[in-house]
A and B are shown apart, each in its own frame.
Chain A
């Protein structure tokens, strides 16, 4: 009895234990996280874009072979990136488009979105090519002209840009086309025309897309600010914030308006609020400048350190290199790097702002002759941008032309005496200096 018991029991127990361990091992294997349901909690906080993302995801789930869901998702992610300033959402849009192209390699919607994505990544030449490809498929769609105008403007092909914008507004006069007309008029020095067009753009904006409405208001405000109407400008910024609370470009614009009104405390608060939402180098540099002007050197330095840190992180996918070059040149830091960025920019894009950055870095390096050639190129459209004129004024004075220098500097300060926190001060000093000569 006993013999038999042990004969069976011991190997039996051991085999049982091994089996149990193997079963636990297998059952412990976790399911992939992607398999988890991603049902976001329904909340009042969800913006229309959040709901669009949800709708796109359920469309993908239901109609898995239709590229439409992926296109919708890509568009929603890009819209979300615009709203939040989170550049990395573009990578999600890119993945969605990849899926869409897998299902239908030549689908028009995806090509159109691809052009927008390339614009977001500052791949302007690619964007132009993609937009042209889309245009060949459907030449009657005004939307594709939008991407084309943007690409042409950024590449410095202004004549073609104007033609494309005219075609666009002829096809359909809406926010997208009016806002581009406004920008082109502004570039060509037609301030009043720019303001009119942007007002039309703002009025035509769909109430469905509050971000788009707010965007128009901010840009209208900027044009008004450069037209010597700071109060009207601030009203537009407030309106933008009312339409789209905590919209970061509007917060930063409001900070500029508060600074122009001499209200430094609130200017700081609004810059901080903008940075809280999205720490863009522009906003942080401006806050640093404000601290510097108020003699708070430690805090200014902290902001400047952050600007460099963020650029080092590559958060914005290199799309901020131009602003960084300007930041360095403005603050007399890393001038060699600023110059090399400017040269690289001009190698791929021939727009007036690339010429301006080059002129400004050359000026800071003491190469005044070359700076003059570059700034003349930057002023070729007769743009009434105070920053361009300020650069032109300093370069003219450095080349010995005090009269021209004074003229440019006066123009810059007439357009907007608060165009930049620190640079406007330098402009005033320099103007007094050259006038006395």
Chain B
């Protein structure tokens, strides 16, 4: 039953990945600009999205060696040559003074359009020179995008701001309707956006009375953007040993911090380890698995983006990966829940399992001893515990003649740990992906690789750390005489249930 269901879900996902298209005619050229007011400069993120016909027209110019194929070098050259003209058609005035901008990054790619034909997407990031936005001064910005102004298409301008900046009285909104020209609204009764011009004021102080703060398209207030500092690590001017060292430290820190953000299965890790009386070794193994999976995931997705972008959009792959990792967690949770529940109820449903996983028993016994070796160093250990029996979490004893164990013997299997680790690392962090891609486009693959690995280590360190914290809390808890308590007995069952819940939530999130 599950197999069928997953097959259907995979099919639906595949369909979702394959459909894309321009809502207007296939001769449109669509423009998008995101104006970001940073602390000391203005950044313009521009996108030019060409539908099938203009792409075909341009491809005649792109294909300089006339072999009928558009190689990445040809595409890059095309964008390189096109960029000055593109910049010339952008007008940026701050306080009525024209402002010079320069390109800091570029990207060009072919995407699959209607009928297996390609569409062309070009992206740029431009920045102004640094300037200071002083207190109690109000600046006025005007922007106009005249690229392909003759051609029909969507034209969208969005304004974002850094934390310390207020934007007000803006003709543009703070949110995008087209997801930066990735999806076009299907409402046939609305006209395509025609935003080629924007003006607004900004200040680092409070806004004047009666001024209207920057709004999103749905009328809500626009929130400041968080910069992707990690991805910026790669685009430094020159890499000196000091900068490299600094970069590595930062990468580790970013990885560690990133793991704190929701969606990395910290709770899963914790719940699993607590429920199964894992050890430090388990936690470390879990951490390593996460590191390796995450690093490989970033590389794989990076490669897909580079070579297969004609067929699949990496952004479309993200929900899919997230779904798979959710599914993995859900299955682990369900199977653990079943086994633990039976075990807690005293049903020997796992008889077969002990044979099946016979080879695991050895390592489990070994691991079960592990806490003894180092427990003197553990802060939360209760030295006054009168009953030495509680030290051996894995051993058996008798109550009223019937031999049993309090702890479900099947819990910790390397297989489950591995699956859990993979699910934690499967979904590459977007920052790491952007970093890897910028590294490739800047020809700094080696450095990008190292940064990614270090980032993954940081990620794993946090996950392992969280696991250990849970472990010690659990141990302190287990160190008391509560072992026979009914709630305590049900705890592994409950934690398995939570794992399943989280898996379901991840799946749900990825589909939403």
On A, residues with C-beta under 8 Å from B are 2-3, 6-7, 10-11, 14, 17-18, 21-22, 24-25, 28-31, 33-43, 45-46, 50, 53-54, 57, 60, 70, 73, 77, 80, 84-89, 91-92, 95-96, 99, 246, 273, 276-279, 302, 305-306, 309-310, 312-313, 315
Task: List chain B residues, Cβ under 8 A from A315.
Answer: 25-27, 53
> Which of A54, A85, A276 has its CB near the most chain B CB atoms (within 10 A)?
A276
Task: Answer whether A41 and B195 are a contact pair too, CB < 8 Å, given A33-B187, A306-B56.
Answer: yes
Interchain CB contact under 8 A, A6 and B171: no
Task: List chain B residues, Cβ under 8 A from A2.
Answer: 480
Can you identify 27 A-B contacts, CB atoms within 8 angstroms? Answer: A3-B482, A6-B480, A10-B473, A10-B477, A17-B267, A21-B267, A22-B505, A24-B262, A38-B187, A38-B191, A40-B193, A41-B171, A43-B197, A45-B196, A53-B191, A57-B189, A73-B189, A86-B28, A87-B25, A99-B189, A277-B151, A278-B151, A302-B60, A312-B115, A313-B117, A315-B25, A315-B53
Shortest distance in angstroms between B504's beta carbon and chain A's nearest beta carbon?
A: 9
In chain B, positions 49-69 with a C-beta closer than 8 Å to chain A are 52-54, 56-57, 60
A38-B191, A88-B24, A273-B150 are known; give 19 further A-B pairs, CB within 8 A: A3-B482, A10-B274, A11-B491, A17-B498, A28-B512, A33-B177, A33-B185, A34-B186, A50-B191, A54-B191, A57-B191, A73-B189, A276-B151, A278-B151, A278-B152, A309-B53, A309-B56, A313-B117, A315-B53
CA–CA, A3 to B483, complex, Å? 11
Asked if B271 lies at the interface with its beta carbon under 8 angstroms from chain A, I say yes
Task: List chain B residues, Cβ under 8 A from A91.
Answer: 188
Task: Answer whether A10 and B491 are a contact pair too, CB < 8 Å, given A33-B187, A313-B52.
Answer: yes
Selected contact of B498 from candidates A18, A28, A77, A88, CB within 8 Å: A18
Asked if B509 lies at the interface with its beta carbon under 8 angstroms from chain A, I say yes
What 0/1 readout, one digit per residue, does chain B (144-183) give for beta carbons within 8 Å of chain A? 0000001110000100000000000001100101000001
Interchain CB contact under 8 A, B502 and A7: no
Interchain CB contact under 8 A, B187 and A34: yes
- 8 A-B pairs with least C-beta separation: A88-B25, A95-B188, A36-B217, A86-B152, A33-B185, A6-B477, A34-B187, A277-B150
Shortest distance in angstroms between A30's beta carbon and chain B's nearest beta carbon?
A: 7
Task: List chain B residues, Cβ under 8 A from A84.
Answer: 152
Q: Nearest chain-B residue to A5 (Cβ)?
A: B477
Task: List chain B residues, Cβ under 8 A from A89.
Answer: 24-25
Task: List chain B residues, Cβ under 8 A from A14.
Answer: 267, 271, 494-495, 498
Q: Nearest chain-B residue to A310 (Cβ)?
A: B53
What 0/1 readout, one digit per residue, does chain B (48-92) give for beta carbons within 8 Å of chain A? 000011101100100000000000000000000000000000000
Task: List chain A residues, Cβ under 8 A from B336.
Answer: none
CA–CA, A38 to B194, complex, Å? 11
Interchain CB contact under 8 A, A41 and B198: yes
CA–CA, A309 to B473, complex, Å? 68
Selected contact of A279 from candidates B27, B60, B157, B485, CB within 8 Å: B27
CA–CA, A60 to B186, complex, Å? 18
> Which of A7, A60, A99 has its CB near the most chain B CB atoms (within 10 A)?
A7
What 0/1 readout, one digit per residue, does chain B (489-512) give for beta carbons within 8 Å of chain A? 001001100100110010011001
Asked if B487 lies at the interface with its beta carbon under 8 angstroms from chain A, I say yes
Shortest distance in angstroms between B238's beta carbon and chain A's nearest beta carbon?
A: 41
Interchain CB contact under 8 A, A35 and B482: no
Asked if B237 lies at the interface with its beta carbon under 8 angstroms from chain A, I say no
Selected contact of B512 from candidates A6, A29, A57, CB within 8 Å: A29
What is the count of residue pairs linking A and B with beta-carbon distances less than 8 angstroms?
Answer: 162
Q: Mostly helix, strand, loop or mixed at chain A's interface?
A: helix
> Which of A6, A30, A41, A60 has its CB near the most chain B CB atoms (within 10 A)?
A41
Task: List chain B residues, Cβ under 8 A from A10.
Answer: 274, 473-474, 477, 491
Q: Nearest chain-A residue to B187 (Cβ)?
A: A34
Task: List chain B residues, Cβ under 8 A from A53.
Answer: 191
Task: Answer whether A313 and B476 are a contact pair too, CB < 8 Å, given A34-B185, A40-B195.
Answer: no
Asked if B190 lies at the interface with its beta carbon under 8 angstroms from chain A, I say yes
Q: Nearest chain-B residue to A88 (Cβ)?
A: B25
Interchain CB contact under 8 A, B150 and A46: no
Shortest distance in angstroms between B160's beta carbon and chain A's nearest beta carbon?
A: 17
Interchain CB contact under 8 A, B482 and A21: no
Task: List chain A residues, Cβ under 8 A from B386.
Answer: none
CA–CA, A201 to B10, complex, Å? 61
Interchain CB contact under 8 A, A305 and B509: no
Interchain CB contact under 8 A, A40 and B194: yes
Q: Nearest chain-A residue to B474 (Cβ)?
A: A10
Shortest distance in angstroms between A247's beta carbon and chain B's nearest beta carbon?
A: 11
Shortest distance in angstroms between A70's beta carbon and chain B's nearest beta carbon?
A: 8
Selected contact of B190 from candidates A3, A38, A46, CB within 8 Å: A38
Task: List chain B residues, Cβ under 8 A from A309.
Answer: 53, 56
Task: List chain B residues, Cβ under 8 A from A21.
Answer: 262, 267, 501-502, 505
Task: List chain A residues, Cβ under 8 A from B241.
Answer: none
